[in-house]
Chains A and B, each alone.
Chain A
Amino acid sequence: MIDLTHINYRYDELSTEWVLKDTNLKIGKGEYVLVCGKSGSGKSTLAYLLNGLIPHFLDGELQGRVSVVGKDSRDLTVADLMSLVGLVFQNADAQLFNSTVDKEIGFGLESLGLSAPEIEEKIERTSKALHIEHLLKRSPMTLSGGEKRIVAIASVLSVSPPVMVLDEPLAHLDWEGAKRIREVLLQLHEKGTTLVVIEQRVGALHQDATRCLILEKGEVLFDGSPGDAHPILIHQHLVPRYPARTTGNEHFGTTLLEVQQISHAIEKRPVLKDLSMEVKEGEILAIVGPNGAGKTTLVKHFNGLLHPSRGNVLFMGKGVRRQSPADIASRIGIAFQNPNDQFFKTTVEDELAVGWDLCKKTPAGWLEELRTLFHLHELLSQSPYRLSEGQKKRVSIASVLVMKPRLLVLDEPTVGQDGLFLETLADLLLTLCAKGFTIVIVTHDLDFALATARRWVVVHGGKVVATGPPRELAKDENLLKMGALGNPEWAPADNVHETF
């Protein structure tokens, strides 16, 4: 189906670095290929190559030959290739550009010039196959993350391409969303579609794929069965191996933050319902739960970004309601999911200086200590936008920590990150905890939460449904049954050096 021969590609003809180097790859009909690799290893570039965006849409220098279903991709346009290779992009918001789901599924069919009855029939067939008939008249913007992914797959699947390429289809999804996508992919595979799936969350798809491809700096490092790939995935840190818990205070201090029976509604829909919890000084606490449980809404109450309709939030015994979030930032710092939301300076050094200049009370040596701790010295003169995803996350957390807040809150810090960064981040958090910082991690990545937090608060349906030691809660049948928790993607023995 796909034949790549001696492929070299670089985005900038003047660059000395090739993104793909002498890549040779043959993919046969009906294969399910899982493509893994660190950030910047050339995974997305490979996807663009398969559907013709390279060389027809993206500039750059391409050497070698790409053949799809026996045809040279240079001889076809991207529009010609759409019926041969369907590409599902990582960013569902960019992929879904129509006003309703049925129009979204019909768009590709209209592009092919099909008649109206044929389009209607294919929309119906595709939506039935993916069990999304009930979503057809909904706007894609109102869908959940998992639903958006399935609609994005449907929008490509409707033209029945023999090859489908999916770029990180599990990014941002919790265990339920990931399970649904996994089922959809298995269903497509059973029907004979050739699948090329690029994914950082190797554990979720590892057992389904028939072949695993590991890219490293633009070269194929491994090409073989997923079973044989396992030791290499671990060696390459694509499956995170978390540091042993040797640091940190076993006995938590006094209550630093107390949430007292808060309720909050968004557009009359209750998101938090009479929720209470507390954060103890010096602990690493994970707020876990499925997407839409109210986790981010909860932490936005910590620093006054949101105010509860009922109840109180106390930090060190004082209410946060009367202070602005900017004033509280020197005591409670929150780093949200997308680091790009923070960057507005031309260099990393200036980005860090923003918080430093705003907070006059920070000890003199802290900025230097932070730069060393986060390995930022070599990045200081670079633009934050040109960094890798892991580097961006490091800068984003450091720019919040620069004010030395007592409480650091990280909202979904693992989303879109490779295994190597997850290891680094876990290590960093344990170091920060040992230095006396109190840390709250908001996540649906239970492997990461198990490896870093000493206590979990499980939020489900806007309520705290359980609090306690992670290992006990992770096995709680009731929590698993109600969907408040899911099974970790890897068995703990696979990715934690030492149990705690």
Chain B
Amino acid sequence: MKRFDPRTKLALGIMGIAAVLLTRNTFPLAVEMVLLLGGLLTLKMLRPLVRVLKLILPLVGLVFVIALISFAWETALVLALRLFNLFTLSFVFFQALDPEELGDGLRKMGLPYEFSFILTTSMRYVPLIGMRIRLIADAQRSRGIDLRPRLRNVPRFMALLMPLLVQAFILAEQLAMAMESRGFARKGRSFRRGYRIPLHEYGLMFLALCLLATFVIWERG
């Protein structure tokens, strides 16, 4: 699946999400879940999913309990299954499609290069910003500012926010200068990696479309 053209991955992801969102009954949702887990088993991605599930399942459980208290158990089950399927689909989507491929896919679908590049680069800097938050928190705690998540500490979070904002602006300016210096704005850019959707991927997309139609008809029928 990793070898698929990014447009194929995007199309499959969008159709999968549409199928989950359009499904409103327990049984079709359960079928979707089985299909998803079966697919993951075939692709040998079940083990990494289990690690992510440890974080997701408490949230799914919480939604189920709240819905159970507020509505009927059928609604609670539908909401919990839908959430689980959405998380699983998103997991597969981001495992199979790295941010640069997503950008390339969108560019091939007509999005200007500048926008697709900004999208992928901003994703790349998320871990760096996360690291900066940790460093700022350490520096502030070491000079006596309590940043533990307590109500009385809320005003103190300015000590975290302000340095982060300033550093993000500085980084953005430096990044812009570095990109400019390496020809980001230059006309006539070429691309190292070429993309082509092979016939079997068109077939797969058609199959996915048929499945989506089947679920919609099943739901409405």
Q: Of A113-121, A280-288, A413-421, A431-439, which stretch is located at the interface?
A: A113-121
With contacts A89-B174, A94-B175, A305-B142 taken as known, whether A336 is within 8 angstroms of B135 at the C-beta atoms is yes
Asked whether, in the complex, the Cβ of B142 is within 8 Å of the Cβ of A334, the reply is yes
For the complex, count residues of B whose C-beta is within 8 A of A.
Answer: 52
Q: Nearest Cβ in chain B — how far from A402, in angstroms?
A: 8
Q: Of A170-178, A184-192, A352-360, which stretch is located at the interface?
A: A352-360
Asked if A385 lies at the interface with its beta carbon under 8 angstroms from chain B, I say yes
Asked whether, in the complex, the Cβ of A116 is within 8 Å of the Cβ of B171, the reply is no
Q: B158's closest neighbor in chain A, by CB?
A: A344
Q: Chain A interface: which size bin? A: 35 or more
B 145-170 binary contact with A (CB < 8 Å = 1; else 0):
11110000000001101110011001
Asked whether, in the complex, the Cβ of B98 is within 8 Å of the Cβ of A342, the reply is no
Q: B128's closest neighbor in chain A, by CB?
A: A93
Asked if B15 lies at the interface with its beta carbon under 8 angstroms from chain A, I say no
Q: Which residues of A contact B125 (CB under 8 A)?
A: 97
Q: Which residues of A contact B176 (CB under 8 A)?
A: 57
Q: Which of A85-124 contact B (CB under 8 A)?
A: 86-87, 89, 91, 93-95, 97-99, 103, 106-116, 119-120
Q: Which of A116-170 contact B (CB under 8 A)?
A: 116, 119-120, 141, 155-156
With contacts A97-B175, A116-B194, A355-B144 taken as known, whether A300 is within 8 angstroms of B180 at the C-beta atoms is no
Asked if A303 lies at the interface with its beta carbon under 8 angstroms from chain B, I say yes
Asked if B59 lies at the interface with its beta carbon under 8 angstroms from chain A, I say no
Q: A306's closest neighbor in chain B, by CB?
A: B138
Asked if A450 lies at the interface with its beta carbon under 8 angstroms from chain B, I say no
Asked whether, in the complex, the Cβ of B141 is within 8 Å of the Cβ of A343, the reply is no
Asked whether, in the complex, the Cβ of B185 is within 8 Å of the Cβ of A119, the reply is no
A 32-60 binary contact with B (CB < 8 Å = 1; else 0):
00000000000000001001010001100
* Docked CA distance A355–B140 (Å): 10
Asked if A213 lies at the interface with its beta carbon under 8 angstroms from chain B, I say no
Q: Which residues of A contact B148 (CB under 8 A)?
A: 324, 326
* Docked CA distance A298–B171 (Å): 28
Asked whether, in the complex, the Cβ of B162 is within 8 Å of the Cβ of A79, the reply is no
Asked whether, in the complex, the Cβ of B99 is within 8 Å of the Cβ of A385, the reply is no
Q: B139's closest neighbor in chain A, by CB?
A: A341
Q: Which residues of A contact B141 (CB under 8 A)?
A: 303, 305, 324-326, 329
Asked if B136 lies at the interface with its beta carbon under 8 angstroms from chain A, I say yes
Asked whether, in the complex, the Cβ of A111 is within 8 Å of the Cβ of B162, the reply is no
Asked whether, in the complex, the Cβ of B144 is within 8 Å of the Cβ of A113, the reply is no
Q: Which of B57-75 contact A (CB under 8 A)?
A: none
With contacts A93-B171, A94-B175, A110-B192 taken as known, whether A343 is within 8 angstroms of B143 at the C-beta atoms is no
Asked if A247 lies at the interface with its beta carbon under 8 angstroms from chain B, I say no
Q: How many A-B residue pairs have CB under 8 A?
A: 169
Asked if B189 lies at the interface with its beta carbon under 8 angstroms from chain A, I say yes
Q: Nearest Cβ in chain B — how far from A9, in angstroms?
A: 16
Asked if B190 lies at the interface with its beta carbon under 8 angstroms from chain A, I say yes
Q: Which residues of A contact B179 (CB under 8 A)?
A: 97
Q: A58's closest neighbor in chain B, by CB?
A: B177
Asked whether, in the complex, the Cβ of B180 is within 8 Å of the Cβ of A53, the reply is yes
Q: Nearest Cβ in chain B — how far from A374, in angstroms?
A: 15
Q: Nearest Cβ in chain B — how far from A425, in angstroms?
A: 18
Asked whether, in the complex, the Cβ of A326 is within 8 Å of the Cβ of B144, the reply is yes
Asked whether, in the complex, the Cβ of B178 is within 8 Å of the Cβ of A95, the reply is yes
* Docked CA distance A79–B194 (Å): 24
Asked if B127 lies at the interface with its beta carbon under 8 angstroms from chain A, I say yes
Q: Which residues of A contact B161 (CB under 8 A)?
A: 344
Q: B117's closest neighbor in chain A, by CB?
A: A97
Interface SS, B side: helix
Asked whether, in the complex, the Cβ of A341 is within 8 Å of the Cβ of B190, the reply is no
Q: Which residues of B contact A115 (CB under 8 A)?
A: 190
* Docked CA distance A114–B124 (Å): 25
With contacts A87-B181, A91-B174 taken as known, whether A119 is within 8 angstroms of B143 at the C-beta atoms is no
Asked if B201 lies at the interface with its beta carbon under 8 angstroms from chain A, I say no
Q: Which of B115-135 contact A (CB under 8 A)?
A: 120-121, 124-125, 127-128, 132, 135
* Docked CA distance A94–B100 (Å): 17
Q: Which of A103, A116, A400 contacts B142 (CB 8 A)?
A: A400
Q: Which of B121, B139, B190 contacts A342 (CB 8 A)?
A: B139
Asked whether, in the complex, the Cβ of A343 is within 8 Å of the Cβ of B192, the reply is no
Q: A403's closest neighbor in chain B, by CB?
A: B144
Asked if B198 lies at the interface with its beta carbon under 8 angstroms from chain A, I say no
* Docked CA distance A241–B51 (Å): 55
Asked if A338 lies at the interface with its beta carbon under 8 angstroms from chain B, I say yes
Asked whether, in the complex, the Cβ of B189 is within 8 Å of the Cβ of A120, the reply is no
Q: Which residues of A contact B191 (CB under 8 A)?
A: 110, 116
Asked if A399 lies at the interface with its beta carbon under 8 angstroms from chain B, I say yes
Asked whether, in the complex, the Cβ of B142 is within 8 Å of the Cβ of A325, the reply is yes
Asked whether, in the complex, the Cβ of B145 is within 8 Å of the Cβ of A358, the reply is yes
Asked if B188 lies at the interface with its beta carbon under 8 angstroms from chain A, I say yes
Asked whether, in the complex, the Cβ of B188 is within 8 Å of the Cβ of A113, the reply is yes
Q: Which residues of B contact A93 (CB under 8 A)?
A: 128, 171
Q: Which residues of A contact B183 (CB under 8 A)?
A: 79, 82, 107-108, 111-112
List 7 other contacts, CB 8 Å, given A91-B171, A97-B178, A99-B120. A53-B177, A57-B176, A58-B177, A155-B182, A325-B142, A326-B141, A341-B163
Q: Which 10 A-B pairs have the closest CB atoms?
A: A111-B183, A344-B162, A329-B144, A94-B174, A79-B186, A341-B139, A334-B142, A326-B146, A325-B141, A113-B188
What are 23 residue pairs bridging A and B, where the CB atoms are less than 8 Å apart in the complex? A79-B180, A80-B186, A89-B177, A94-B171, A99-B124, A106-B192, A110-B190, A110-B192, A112-B186, A113-B188, A114-B190, A116-B193, A116-B194, A305-B141, A326-B144, A326-B146, A327-B146, A329-B142, A334-B139, A335-B139, A344-B162, A354-B144, A400-B143
- A residues with a Cβ closer than 8 A to B are 48, 51, 53, 57-58, 77-80, 82, 86-87, 89, 91, 93-95, 97-99, 103, 106-116, 119-120, 141, 155-156, 300, 303, 305, 324-327, 329-330, 333-336, 338, 340-344, 354-355, 358-359, 385, 399-400, 403
